[in-house]
Homo-oligomer: A and B are copies of this chain.
Amino acid sequence: MKLKPLFDRVVILPEQKENTTSSGIILPQTSQEAPQIGKIVAVGDGESLELDRTGMKVNVGDRVLYNKYAGSEIKLDNKTYIIMRQIDIVGVIYE
C-alpha cells in the first residue's frame, strides 16, 4: 500500500461478494444499504476530525464490516480500494 491515510482514516480492500458466503457472514439480498466486508490495508494516525482524541481501533489486516456509502473509491495497481474514516467501520470480524 503506497498510501498513508490522514487523521482517523483507513484504506480498505473490499471483499468480492462471491467470497462472503464461506466466511459465514452473508449480506442480505434485500437491503441495498447493508454493511460491506473488507480488509484494512492502511491506517492513519487516529487523530479524530471532530474531537480532541487520537487512537485507531483497527489494525492492518483486520477484516471489518463497514457502512456501504462511506468513503471514496480509489484505484491502485488495478485494485479498487475504499478510503474512509474509522467511525464508519461498524465492527471487526474474527474467526
Q: Which residues of A contact B (CB under 8 A)?
A: 2-7, 9, 11, 24-28, 31, 33-35, 42, 44-45, 47, 49-53, 57-58, 65, 67, 72-78, 80, 83, 86-87, 89-95
Contact between B6 and A57 (Cβ–Cβ < 8 Å)?
yes
The 3 closest A-B pairs by CB, nearest first: A5-B91, A3-B91, A26-B75
Sampled A-B contacts (25; CB under 8 Å): A2-B93, A2-B94, A2-B95, A3-B91, A3-B93, A4-B93, A6-B58, A6-B86, A6-B89, A6-B90, A7-B57, A7-B87, A9-B91, A11-B91, A27-B74, A27-B75, A28-B74, A34-B72, A35-B74, A47-B57, A50-B51, A65-B74, A65-B83, A72-B90, A83-B91
